[in-house]
Structure 1
Amino acid sequence: MPSPEGSRELLVVDGYNVIFKSARYLARMDETVAGDPFEQARDLLVADVAAYAKGRYEPVIVFDAAGNVSPERPDLSKAGVRMVFSRTGESADAVIERLVTEQRLLPRAVTVVTSDRAIRATVGGVPVTRISSDVLVADVNQLAAEYERANAERQTQHMRLEDRIDPAAREKLWRMLRG
């Protein structure tokens, strides 16, 4: 179903559900950090979701703030990704359900990323697509691998001296070396 007025489809990501599904994010958690051991994992997830959503989605990541060290967090935006933290006493599930319901009323297409069965059951139906956290993590891992491969190829190309020399000058040098 197309979104109203040319707006992109809304992508709602269950933040901690995805973080706990991937070694990529868990490796960024630091239990020794006094304030917030999730900060680096969240930042990486935001960067990954921004790359995943680029041009297709309007991304929102919902985090459950109830159990965080600092539960009073404002909604933030980084790299074009809106981050929403549930209020004290409110679950991320409730925030996700509210966001999806609001979009259904427009109507606007929504994709929800979570492996939480309760949320998947609650938000299902038209115009909502459900993707498991594992699928998003696999897609993000593939994007990251493609980026690293392309970056390595660019680095190799830029490091070779013969690629930096004007083709005519390079041909003269080859003739001098052979002659």
Structure 2
Amino acid sequence: MKSIDKEMTRVLYKSRKILIVDGYNIINAWSKLKTISEEDLQTSREMLVNHVLEYSKIKGLEAYIIFDAYRVKNSEENIQKYHEITIVFTKENQTADSYIEKFISSLSKYDEIYVATSDYAEQQIALGKGCYRIPARELISDVSNAKEALRKKSSFKSKEYNSMNRLENKIDSSVLEKLEKIRRNK
């Protein structure tokens, strides 16, 4: 009877695909963002957020980016929504790793959870809790590949549309112009 109850719970619960990103860990592994962060940390954070936003949209993931405020005096936990991404700044004396570990524990076992970090200890914790790990280098590569695949798909659709057997592709441009004038006058 227990297995039937478990199966019914799984069916009733709509599992989510969740991406959890260790913000500063990924920034420091992404050479372009790391270089920018040395001059302007805020800009590098914004760039990471935008990359993750695009990636999560393409892949259909619910995304969370965790930035730690471990050494920031008197900082309180700050959670912000940016489009469909949740950005978390941890409180003073809390690392992103500890926040991620606690957050993973709060999620359903039916969720498909991906943790993006190159921190070996955090990867082991994520794996131990049944999550998928994505090393920083792999995330960076996946983001680039997903964007490129989307560009190719979009380009193909555009070419496909332009090569369709459409009237405007078959008639003289002056005739098309006259027809357009007639259409606009009605």
TM over 0.5: yes
Structure possessing the higher radius of gyration over alpha carbons: 2
Asked if the contact 1:3–1:9 (Cα under 8 Å) also holds between the matched residues in 2, the reply is no
Give the secondary structure class of the aligned counterpart of 2:69: coil
How far residue 150 of structure 1 moved from its aligned partner, in angstroms, is 6.9
> Quick one: which of 108, 113, 127 aligns to 1:110?
113
Deviations 1:31-52 (A, max 9, x none): 2xxxxx3211111211211222
How far apart in 2 are the matches of 1:45 and 1:124?
A: 24
Give the secondary structure class of the aligned counterpart of 1:28: helix
Between structures 1 and 2, the one with greater helix share:
2
Q: Within 5 Å, give how 1:24-39 maps onto structure 2.
A: 24-29=32-37, 31=39, 37-39=40-42
2:137 corresponding residue in structure 1: 134
Deviations 1:120-179 (A, max 9, x none): 12221353111111100011122344456678x59x98xxxxxxxx43123879xxxxxx
Percent identity between the two aligned chains: 26
2:45 corresponding residue in structure 1: 42
Asked if the contact 1:107–1:127 (Cα under 8 Å) also holds between the matched residues in 2, the reply is no
1:65 corresponding residue in structure 2: 69
How far residue 3 of structure 1 moved from its aligned partner, in angstroms, is 8.9
> Can you give the 5+ residue segments of structure 1 that lack an aligned partner in the other structure?
32-36, 158-165, 174-179
How far residue 67 of structure 1 moved from its aligned partner, in angstroms, is 3.7
- Which amino acid in the other structure matches residue 17 of structure 2? E
2:93 corresponding residue in structure 1: 89
- Which amino acid in the other structure matches residue 92 of structure 2? T
How far apart in 2 are the matches of 1:150 and 1:107?
A: 31
- After superposition, the Cα gap between the structure-2 partners of 1:49 and 1:116, relative to the gap in structure 1 and judged at 3 Å, is same
TM-score, normalisation: structure 2: 0.69
- After superposition, the Cα gap between the structure-2 partners of 1:169 and 1:115, relative to the gap in structure 1 and judged at 3 Å, is same
How far apart in 1 are the matches of 2:87 and 2:147?
A: 21
Larger deviation, residues 54-63 vs 127-136: 54-63
- After superposition, the Cα gap between the structure-2 partners of 1:29 and 1:148, relative to the gap in structure 1 and judged at 3 Å, is farther
**2:83 aligned with 1:79, yes or no?**
yes
Aligned length: 157
Asked if the contact 1:10–1:111 (Cα under 8 Å) also holds between the matched residues in 2, the reply is yes
How far apart in 2 are the matches of 1:127 and 1:139?
A: 21
How far residue 97 of structure 1 moved from its aligned partner, in angstroms, is 0.5
How far apart in 2 are the matches of 1:14 and 1:56?
A: 19
Give the secondary structure class of the aligned counterpart of 2:123: helix
Aligned-pair RMSD on alpha carbons? 3.3
How far apart in 2 are the matches of 1:147 and 1:68?
A: 39
Give the secondary structure class of the aligned counterpart of 2:115: strand
